[in-house]
Amino acid sequence: MHVPSTAHEIAQTAARMVVDEGLEWGPAKRRAVRQLGLPQRTPLPDNDLLEAAVREHIALFCADTQPQELRALRELALVWMGRMQAFRPYLAGAVWRGTATRLSDVYVQMFCDDPKSAEIALIDHNVPYDATQVTGFHGETVDALSISSFCKPLNETIGVHLMVYDFDDLRGALKPDAQGRTQRGDAAALRVLLNTEEAA
């Protein structure tokens, strides 16, 4: 499939913002269009193209630091997945896909029988959080419980976002994408990733 060169240019510009500034993918694409002086209605590159550009940027400019930063974020995700184990947590986003840096937030998707129970668990453990609503993976509105969590290896506070889905959403969530890749993984799958990296 031929991808127009404009899409590549937007993807490369957006990838720089994602890696160097920690920008989310959607805003990075839109800002790249403005920065390149393109018409506002210019079609945006898809996420696969942007992900390829992000991986390329990391390989060129962050190859010595990114693997350690990614590992620290994955270990932090594992801690929170352990704490929220009752709510079937799955890691998603850049930390799962392997494109995260120290500027990335951690996104954990939880599949609860009772959506309010996760919030009650945080209150019971005196964990301060902000509750917001975000767009879920089917385009629906889901609750997000956002926590600031200190990551010792990075010596930085990282945003950890616990997205609250219905238990029924779990079946669809485990389907692979068009490339056959899993979009999220549970704690066991994350441990396998960490052990594989360690062995490598």
Q: Are residues 53 and 74 in the same domain?
A: no
The pLDDT value given to residue 23: 92
Looking from the CA of 70 toward its CB, the CA atoms found within 13 Å total: 22
194: CATH: 3.30.460.10
pLDDT in tens, 8-22: 999 999 999 999 999
The pLDDT value given to residue 2: 54
The pLDDT value given to residue 198: 76
What is the greatest pairwise CA distance in the chain? 53
Q: Are residues 83 and 50 in the same domain?
A: no
Could you tell me the residue range of the domain that residue 137 belongs to? Answer: 66-199
The pLDDT value given to residue 185: 94
pLDDT in tens, 60-112: 999 999 999 999 999 999 999 999 999 999 999 999 999 999 999 999 999 99
Average pLDDT, the chain: 92
Tokens encoding 53: 């550009």
Contact indicator for 89, 145 with CB cutoff of 8 Å: no
Q: Are residues 57 and 84 in the same domain?
A: no
The pLDDT value given to residue 107: 95
Of 91, 105, 99, nearest in space to 70 by CA: 99
